[in-house]
Amino acid sequence: MGVFLQTLFVGLRLGSVYALIALGYTMVYGIIRLINFAHGDFIMVGGYTLIFTVPLMTAAGLPAWLAVVIAIAVCALVGVGVELVAYRPVRRKGTGMTALITAVAMSLFLENLAQAIPAIGPNPIIASQLFAPGGFRVAGVTLDFVTIYTIAVSAAVMLLLYVFTQKTRMGRAMRCVSEDKSAAVLMGISVNRTVLTTFAVGSGLSAVAALMYVAQYPKVYTTMGSLLGLKAFVAAVAGGIGLIPGAMLGGLVIGLVESFTTSYISSSLTDAVVFLILIAVLLIKPAGILGKNVGEKV
Amino acid sequence: MLKIEDLHVSYGAVRAIKGISLEVDDGELVSLIGANGAGKTTTLHTISGLVPASSGSITLDGKDLRKTPPEKIIGLGLAHVPEGRHVFARMSVEENLAMGAYIVRDKAKIKRQLDMVYAHFPRLAERSRQLAGTLSGGEQQMLAMGRALMTEPKMLLLDEPSMGLSPILVKEIFSIIRELHDAGITILLVEQNAKMALAISDRAYVLETGLISMSGPAQELLHDDKVRRAYLGA
């Protein structure tokens, strides 16, 4: 029972981080039908921003984790920059395939750019402590603070995002653009501005994911976002790409699968099982767990 | 109100509109009829800025629409009900109507317009919480029209409002169009159902492969032999 609960908590923690990242993939996909392969690298951008800004926070006598505010801003700017400099021009001229290749290129570009910055370089940097250490034991289960914070922060962020998309003007505009661009234009919605906001929000979420991830695994390196991003992408697809609740659910499922595979089967099989699950889900439900293959009504 | 002069539109090498001029005066109901592929929808899309014109001019009360960003056109009082409804399927009826009022900041006005739309379309009021994607074709058409009315536009572009609807619903939709016209809204109506369109219109233009082949008072066209043979099946 102790092992089971422990595994469950770890799974929820992992899943919360995946969900935060998956949201970025799914929001951008929902609005411009592009798999933003550079999204995983935004986590790396967030990770390094934390590395460089945490000392500033501590020097100012503020808690280390507050650096996430700067990380959110930096990630949002990078996301918006990538859209403006790379994706928008390509989208205007090319096809979905050229946009996809541009996304892969942006991913490699960000990784290599980071490495070229002298303060970063090719070697991993270890982040200092982001949250006060500790935790407590209940019924044979260790609940460390980082796990609790991760689950709570992710839940809060997702709730905020839900309220944003359902209740605010900009959030509703996003849903309209994602459903039907030309109808959105006829309503007076600026598609370009909505797409930029989506990039800003989605990329900002990856900074929150970076905070929670680095708090647990303090090693920050230039390709840290690759596998993390890939798995979050799997989560988004498994949950139903383009659907915000799908990304949340998909993230949690992937996190739990990973955690339980590690505990009960073998840690070396974790990634294999994750991708097997993806294949199984897509065979049974090609549009993802929450996705529907809705035909257009004429 | 709306004035189009020598408009040309191309999709790549294909010339869809080859120099048309038309005018819709304040309060008029004008229809644009013609066969499939004649360029009717393209004309409306160009007015709304969804498709760029290659040359010519489009003005609304003297304002150059070709120089207006597409999302700003609704703010000039021109609303477009697109072919195939294009309602937001994953949103409720009421959310769709709220999106119709996206540019309206005045909450009281939104409420007023919502009541007005529900008065025109009682069926939408009954289904306000239902997802738009689950409505019938006729209800979706009503929703698309209601949504366009939310800004209290002075002019409506209606693209094939009767498409795919049962004869009873077609009648209902046309009687609503007439109501809107009587309420003083200027309307440019694109229809394949030429007979019904001409019956309620003041004037009409006949579009044939990107050119206007005929125009005049709707009653005259309704009795014109050529129009009758080509579009009225008589």
Least confident of A22-31, A130-139, A171-180, A285-294: A285-294
The reply to whether A279 falls in a domain is no
**What's residue B182's pLDDT?**
96
pLDDT at residue B188 greater than cutoff 90: yes
The reply to whether A38 falls in a domain is yes
**What's residue B234's pLDDT?**
59
The reply to whether A82 falls in a domain is yes
Q: Does B44 touch chain A (CB under 8 A)?
A: no
The reply to whether A69 falls in a domain is yes
pLDDT at residue A298 greater than cutoff 50: no
Query: C-alpha distances in angstroms, A131 versus A42, A45, A67, A158?
Result: 22, 20, 11, 21
The tally of CA atoms less than 13 A away on the side-chain side of residue A262 is 15
- Percentage of residues of chain A with pLDDT beyond 70: 98
Provide the sign of the torsion angle of the four alpha carbons A81, A85, A90, A93, taken in this order.
positive
Q: Strand, helix or coil at A109?
A: helix
Average pLDDT over residues B200-222: 94
- Give tens-digit pLDDT for A101-147: 999 999 999 999 999 999 998 899 999 888 988 888 887 888 899 99
Domain total for chain A? 1
**What's residue A293's pLDDT?**
60
Residues of A with Cβ-Cβ distance to B79 under 8 angstroms: 186
Residue A162 belongs to what domain range? 2-223
Strand partners, B208: B211
The reply to whether A295 falls in a domain is no
User: Nearest Cβ partner of A180 from B71, B86, B103?
Assistant: B86
pLDDT at residue A1 greater than cutoff 80: no
Q: Does B147 touch chain A (CB under 8 A)?
A: yes
pLDDT at residue A297 greater than cutoff 70: no
- pLDDT range class, residue B78, cuts 50, 70, 90: very high
User: Nearest Cβ partner of B88 from A176, A185, A190?
Assistant: A176
- Give tens-digit pLDDT for A272-284: 998 898 899 889 9
**What's residue B149's pLDDT?**
96
pLDDT at residue A296 greater than cutoff 70: no
The reply to whether A85 falls in a domain is yes
- Give tens-digit pLDDT for A258-271: 999 999 999 899 99
Neighbours of A179 (CB within 10 A): 21
Q: Do A189 and B79 touch (CB under 8 A)?
A: no
Quick one: which H or E segment has residue A195? helix A191-216
Q: Do B74 and A180 touch (CB under 8 A)?
A: no
What's the gap in Å between the CA of B95 and the closest CA on chain A? Answer: 9
Average pLDDT over residues B169-175: 93
**What's residue B110's pLDDT?**
96
Report the complex ipTM: 0.94
B157 vs B30: CA distance, rounded Å: 10
**Count of positions (residues) in chain B:** 234
**What's residue A136's pLDDT?**
87
The reply to whether A260 falls in a domain is no
The reply to whether A254 falls in a domain is no
Q: Does B103 touch chain A (CB under 8 A)?
A: yes
Average pLDDT, rounded, for chain B: 94
- Percentage of residues of chain B with pLDDT beyond 70: 100
Least confident of A65-79, B80-94, B216-230: B216-230
pLDDT at residue A227 greater than cutoff 50: yes
Best of A186, A190, A192, A298 to mutate (most B CBs within 10 Å, chain B): A186
Provide the sign of the torsion angle of the four alpha carbons B20, B21, B25, B28, taken in this order.
negative
